[in-house]
Amino acid sequence: MTQLPTSTDKKLGLVIDLDTCVGCHACVVSCKGWNTENYGAPLSDQNAYSGAASGTFLNRVHSYEVQPPEGQAQLIHFPKSCLHCDDAPCVTVCPTGASYKRQEDGIVLVNESSCIGCGLCAWACPYGARELDAAEGVMKKCTLCVDRIYNENLPEEDRQPACVRTCPAGARHFGDFADPDSNVSILTAERGGMDLMPELGTSPVNKYLPPRPKDTSTDIDILAPYLTPVAEDGQGFIGWLDKALSAFPGGSK
Amino acid sequence: MHPAPSVIVFTTFSGLGFGLLFWLGLGMPAPTGMTAFVFFVLAYLCAVGGLLASTFHLGHPERFLKAFSQWQTSWLSREGIAAVVTLLIMALYGAGLVFLGAKWSVLGWLGALGSLVTVGTTSMIYAQMKTVPRWRHWSTPGIFVSFSLGGGALMAGQTTIALILLLVAAAFQIASWVIGDNQLANSGTTIETATGLGHIGKVRAFEPPHTGTNYLMKEFIHVVGRKHALKLRIIGAILGFAVPIAFLAVGVTHLTAFLAIASHVAGVLALRWLFFAQAEHVVGLYYGKR
Ligand code: SF4
Ligand code: SF4
Ligand code: SF4
């Protein structure tokens, strides 16, 4: 069914904290691992042991350099998986009904046995969250680990997405955005959680927390004053040593 | 976007086929017997051949029947239904002309309408994509419909109409280039809105998420072919429009009609290649590419 539900009972999704993500790619690996062994077709690799390796992933981590008008550039690691959009364009374009958004919790899924692998849903997704598996010929996307979060065979603490469970920095949070008191709603409200490409009208459920402002104080540490170089242009013994060492082959002038 | 040969062949030939069916349906011309047979075979070869080509890039073509189910939201589904219904109607209409020498006009008009709707739905598959600003514009249906009707008229031997429609098609094509070249910039979608980091400063893609390529880069980021875009635009416009228009203007014989059609098809293939190769998908922004 490619008609989107007018509203969903729950709005399950992720908060991704761009301030704390360290870019370790652990979520990428755990996502690939869990989703290769569980729900649906495995995530294949092509030419994995050659110089031209490629493969299917449901979660990838980009890194961006941001240059403010003044001061130092910042490096920001940027994990990206399906945002489980409320107005998911990937669902409505699907000709077969393989793509759907669940009424009960808002998760966007692909019924792989109905998918003809036309790729149109991946065209419609602005975020690059869908990849056609080259071995299986069906569309793969983040399932929000639907086979973990409700899985009573797993211990309670493991009933959350693999990427969230794995992240060593605590940069990914899972919860219900429909509940204003949930962890994810509170984080979003407190930290100014934002939508990606809001102008495209997809109404993503997942929110991104912007990096906190950098410390502007020039005192990096109370010990800093003691660590400044003793003499920039050495006099006396230091000056002589500097000249003598510089005279060696390879010495700096 | 990746200019997949199957999609280029599909849109070009099914466009021509349904264009020819449109004019046949209107009774322009309305041949009977063997002549009708040749016209209809040609139209079905183009239309059905194109549709078959489009299944080559599917991961699971054997499940194609499912693709007729989601007409309420999906343009691709609507296109499939429109194409099949039109082909069935026109087969009946054609059979009347070929075998009975009977012209069932109402059926023909329905088939003509169906042909128009089919080409329209094809164009909407592209024009609906908010993710490809160049396509999301009235010029996309304009190109598809005018190319189809113009090329169809050319094949149907409707000299004057073909001449006018090819001029219209050329105008749509030029408009789409002039407007399309600025569509991404005007869309307001940038690497800053894609990452939400614009409030800090200028964003630059520093390190991609993977060392090799992937589905997204192969499918959506096609930079290589774009450097010859201007040359291809000129070649496509000359072959697709200027040459056939010149032939039509000086008067057609069997030979020049054939040459005009051959040149037009070659031109449209080149222009369709560009239609895909030049289209920028916003996901490229995440990779610092377009
Ligand atoms: S992120 Fe992409 S795949 Fe996921 S729901 Fe939104 S549009 Fe669909
Ligand atoms: S690739 Fe599969 S899920 Fe995506 S639009 Fe086509 S049929 Fe639907
Ligand atoms: S929720 Fe599950 S499927 Fe989605 S990115 Fe995380 S690990 Fe992958």
**Pocket residue to mutate for ligand 1, from A4, A80, A130, A132, most atoms within 8 A of Cβ:** A130
Q: Give the pLDDT band of residue A50 (cuts 50, 70, 90).
A: confident
pTM of the model: 0.90
Comparing CB atoms, the residue among B67, B216, B281 nearest residue A95 is: B67
Give the pLDDT of residue A221: 72
Across the interface, do A114 and B195 touch by the CB < 8 Å criterion?
no
Domain B5-287: give its CATH code.
Answer: 1.20.1630.10
Distance A90 CA to ligand 2 centre (A): 8
Calculate how close chain A gets to B23, using CA atoms only, in Å.
29
- Rounded CA gap, A117 and A96, in Å? 10
Give the pLDDT of residue A252: 62
A208-221: average pLDDT? 81
Mean pLDDT of chain A: 92
A159-179: average pLDDT? 97
Which residue has the least CA distance to atom 3 on ligand 3? A142
- Residue A119: inside a domain, yes or no? yes
Q: Give the pLDDT band of residue B194 (cuts 50, 70, 90).
A: very high
Structural domain of A143: 12-209
Calculate how close chain A gets to B29, using CA atoms only, in Å.
35
Q: Give the pLDDT band of residue B254 (cuts 50, 70, 90).
A: confident
Give me the total of CB pairs closer than 8 Å, taking one residue from chain A and one from chain B. 196
- C-alpha A78: how far from its chain's center? 5
Comparing CB atoms, the residue among A28, A57, A97 nearest residue B69 is: A97
Please check the confidence at residue B9 and state whether its pLDDT lies above 80: yes
Across the interface, do A56 and B66 touch by the CB < 8 Å criterion?
no
- Domain of A99, CATH number, reads 3.30.70.20
How confident is the model over A172-189, as pLDDT tens digits?
A: 999 999 999 999 999 999
Beta bridge partners of A238: none
Please check the confidence at residue B144 and state whether its pLDDT lies above 60: yes
- Residue A215: inside a domain, yes or no? no
Which residue has the least CA distance to atom 1 on ligand 3? A144
Beta bridge partners of A17: A209
With a 6 Å cutoff on the Cβ, whether A91 touches ligand 2 is no
How confident is the model over B27-48, as pLDDT tens digits?
A: 999 899 999 999 999 999 999 9
Residues of A in contact with B219 (CB under 8 A): 119, 122-123, 132
- Residues 6+ away with beta carbon under 8 Å from B72: A2, A3
Assess contact for A110 and A96: CB atoms under 8 A: no
How confident is the model over B56-74, as pLDDT tens digits?
A: 889 999 999 999 999 999 9
The least confident of A23-37, B106-120, B214-228 is B214-228
Entry field: residues in chain B:
290
Q: Give the pLDDT band of residue A220 (cuts 50, 70, 90).
A: low
Q: Does B195 touch chain A (CB under 8 A)?
A: yes
Residue of chain A nearest B191, judged by CA positions:
A197
Distance A174 CA to ligand 1 centre (A): 17
B234-251: average pLDDT? 94
Percentage of chain B beyond pLDDT 90 is 89
Please check the confidence at residue A19 and state whether its pLDDT lies above 60: yes
Q: Domain ranges in chain B?
A: 5-287
If one counts every other C-beta atom within 10 angstroms of the C-beta of residue A91, the result is: 27
Whose tokens are 């797993």? That residue is A154
Give the pLDDT of residue B251: 82
SS3 B220: helix
Mean pLDDT of chain B: 94
Distance A89 CA to ligand 2 centre (A): 12
Q: Give the pLDDT band of residue A218 (cuts 50, 70, 90).
A: low
Give the pLDDT of residue A111: 97
Please check the confidence at residue B223 and state whether its pLDDT lies above 80: no
The least confident of A193-202, A229-238, B6-15, B98-107 is A229-238
- Residue A204: inside a domain, yes or no? yes
How confident is the model over B145-193, as pLDDT tens digits?
A: 999 999 999 999 999 999 999 999 999 999 999 999 999 999 999 999 9
Atom of ligand 2 nearest to the CA of A96: 7
- Rounded CA gap, B286 and A81, in Å? 13
Percentage of chain B beyond pLDDT 70 is 99
- Rounded CA gap, B206 and B200, in Å? 16
Chain B, 21 to 80: residues with Cβ < 8 Å from chain A are 57-61, 63-64, 66-70, 72-77, 80
Please indicate whether residue A39 or residue B133 has the higher confidence score (pLDDT): B133
Domain count, chain A: 1
Q: Which of the ligands is closest to the CA of residue A57?
A: 3
Q: Does B216 touch chain A (CB under 8 A)?
A: yes
Between B75-95 and B105-127, two packed helices, what is the crossing angle to 10 degrees?
160
A141-155: average pLDDT? 97
Across the interface, do A201 and B128 touch by the CB < 8 Å criterion?
no
Q: Give the pLDDT band of residue B220 (cuts 50, 70, 90).
A: very high
Chain A, 205 to 234: residues with Cβ < 8 Å from chain B are 208, 210-211
- Residue A126: inside a domain, yes or no? yes
Calculate how close chain B gets to A62, using CA atoms only, in Å.
5
Give the pLDDT of residue B91: 96
